[in-house]
């Protein structure tokens, strides 16, 4: 294996040695001990957010903004268009469709549990969700709007102004693009999916996972998947080249997308991406930043070759996929918000203006 950018490598190597045949009966107490050292359950409580105390008022406003297509210049596309809360928190497309039916450059990651990632976007260019939220609103291939238009839109509706005043009290001018981003971040921080079979297992209920799922967890640890996919979100914490050992073909790794290199301009960051969090991964096909692989089994096999330098056998792949389905958590219930009606002062939609 080539060097990895994580301190977990040593641990993974050690566990390699301890790994054994995959069809044997699982020793729950040993596996649980390993697992709890590597992972932690999705919290039921909203985590602390840097520079953004999460209040009821911000969550409520953020939910409205998340569903409001008037944040796009066409008035058709909302955050929820590509991060669809009905479909695992993404759009289940290879790459998203944006303004003017343009194809976006990368697969949309899920918004569920995204608050637990170390940074946002496949290349980590946004340090948190409040920074992330501002990106797609302005991107020409996504929502194609501008901060001044968005602020004018929100200020045109007294009900929105009142919501901002409640969410950001004692501010002279609460309706700002920054505060919009904070409200969206606050809402998104509530989008946690706890209580998956794996979480319940981690909490000590050894009946919560099936035998194949437990075997898959063991294989996931023993083969070294945990080098990139560990922690509370089973990934999302560190950057790695796609192709640690062997680069996949250009069908899966398009040569023109150099990943984190475009952020850091460091040669070693070519084709480096943030390892995706694997929570709810069975709900978020297709896979990889290119979205080119639809089948979770194939995705696992590709990872074996490209990241581990190992052809996983059919049993290993099946077991890992079984384990990955155990990462499906309980989706929080979201009520469709009621958005204020546009007024005479609301900037009109510009669907045909590219």
For a copy of itself, the binding residues (CB under 8 A) are: 67-70, 74-76, 81, 84-88, 91-94, 97, 100-101, 103, 282-283, 285, 294-295, 331, 333-339, 341-342, 344, 348-349, 351-352
Minimum Å distance from CB 14 to a copy of itself? 35
CB 112 within 8 A of CB 193: yes
Residue 289 is assigned to a ligand binding site = no
Q: For residue 221, which of 64, 16, 76, 4 has the smallest C-alpha distance?
A: 16
Minimum Å distance from CB 183 to a copy of itself? 16
Residue whose CB is less far from a copy of itself, 131 or 328: 328
Residue whose CB is less far from a copy of itself, 45 or 344: 344
Q: Tell me the three state secondary structure of residue 235.
A: coil
Minimum Å distance from CB 10 to a copy of itself? 36
- Active site residue: 142, 188, 265, 311, which one? 142
Determine the Cα–Cα distance for residues 23 and 35; give it in Å rounded to an integer. Answer: 18
CB 5 within 8 A of CB 239: yes
CB 258 within 8 A of CB 105: no
Does the CA dihedral 275-12-215-231 come out positive or negative?
negative
Q: Is 246 a catalytic residue?
A: no
316 CB-contact burial (10 Å; exposed 0-12 / middle 13-18 / buried 19+): buried
Determine the Cα–Cα distance for residues 333 and 320; give it in Å rounded to an integer. Answer: 29
Residue 225 is assigned to a ligand binding site = yes
Q: Where are the beta strands (DSSP E) in 107-266?
A: 239-241
Determine the Cα–Cα distance for residues 25 and 172; give it in Å rounded to an integer. Answer: 64
Residue 64 is assigned to a ligand binding site = no
Residue whose CB is less far from a copy of itself, 11 or 157: 157
H/E element, 140: none
Minimum Å distance from CB 85 to a copy of itself? 5
Residue 75 is assigned to a ligand binding site = no
Residue 99 is assigned to a ligand binding site = yes
Minimum Å distance from CB 267 to a copy of itself? 34
CB 203 within 8 A of CB 192: no
Q: For residue 204, which of 329, 36, 27, 26 has the smallest C-alpha distance?
A: 36
Determine the Cα–Cα distance for residues 326 and 35; give it in Å rounded to an integer. Answer: 14
Residue whose CB is less far from a copy of itself, 127 or 354: 354
Minimum Å distance from CB 290 to a copy of itself? 15
Residue 83 is assigned to a ligand binding site = yes
Q: Tell me the three state secondary structure of residue 240.
A: strand
H/E element, 241: strand 239-241
Catalytic residues, by residue number, are 142
The annotation places the binding site for heme c at 79, 82-83, 99, 225, 228-229, 303
The annotation places the binding site at 79, 82-83, 99, 225, 228-229, 303
């Amino acid at each position: 294996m080539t060097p990895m950018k994580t301190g977990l490598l040593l641990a993974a190597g050690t566990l390699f040695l301890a790994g054994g045949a995959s069809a044997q009966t699982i020793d729950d107490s040993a596996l649980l001990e390993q697992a709890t050292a590597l992972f932690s359950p999705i919290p039921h409580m909203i985590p602390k957010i840097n520079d953004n105390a999460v209040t009821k008022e911000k969550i409520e406003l953020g939910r409205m903004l998340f569903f409001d297509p008037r944040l796009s210049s066409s008035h058709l596309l909302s955050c929820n268009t590509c991060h669809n809360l009905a479909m695992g928190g993404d759009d289940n497309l290879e790459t998203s469709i944006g303004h003017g039916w343009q194809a976006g450059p990368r697969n949309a990651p899920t918004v569920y549990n995204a608050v637990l990632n170390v940074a946002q976007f496949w290349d980590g260019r946004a340090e948190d969700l409040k920074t992330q939220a501002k990106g797609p609103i302005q991107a020409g291939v996504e929502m194609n709007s501008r901060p001044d238009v968005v602020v004018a839109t929100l200020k045109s509706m007294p009900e929105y102004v009142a919501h901002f005043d409640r969410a950001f009290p004692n501010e002279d001018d609460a309706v700002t693009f920054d505060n919009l981003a904070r409200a969206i971040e606050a809402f998104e921080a509530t989008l946690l999916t706890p209580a998956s079979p794996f979480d319940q297992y981690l909490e000590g209920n050894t009946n919560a996972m099936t035998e194949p799922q437990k075997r898959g967890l063991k294989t996931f640890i023993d083969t070294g998947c945990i080098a990139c996919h560990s922690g509370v979100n089973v990934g999302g914490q560190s950057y790695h080249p796609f192709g640690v050992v062997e680069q996949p073909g250009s069908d899966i790794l398009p040569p023109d997308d150099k990943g984190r290199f475009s952020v850091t301009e460091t040669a070693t960051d070519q084709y480096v991406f943030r390892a995706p969090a694997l929570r709810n991964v069975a709900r978020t096909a297709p896979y990889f930043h290119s979205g080119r692989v639809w089948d979770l089994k194939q995705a696992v096999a590709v990872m074996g070759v490209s990241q581990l330098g190992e052809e996983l056998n059919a049993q290993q792949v099946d077991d890992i996929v079984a384990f990955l389905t155990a990462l499906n958590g309980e989706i929080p219930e979201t009520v469709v918000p009621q958005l204020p009606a546009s007024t005479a002062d609301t900037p009109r939609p510009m669907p045909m203006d590219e």
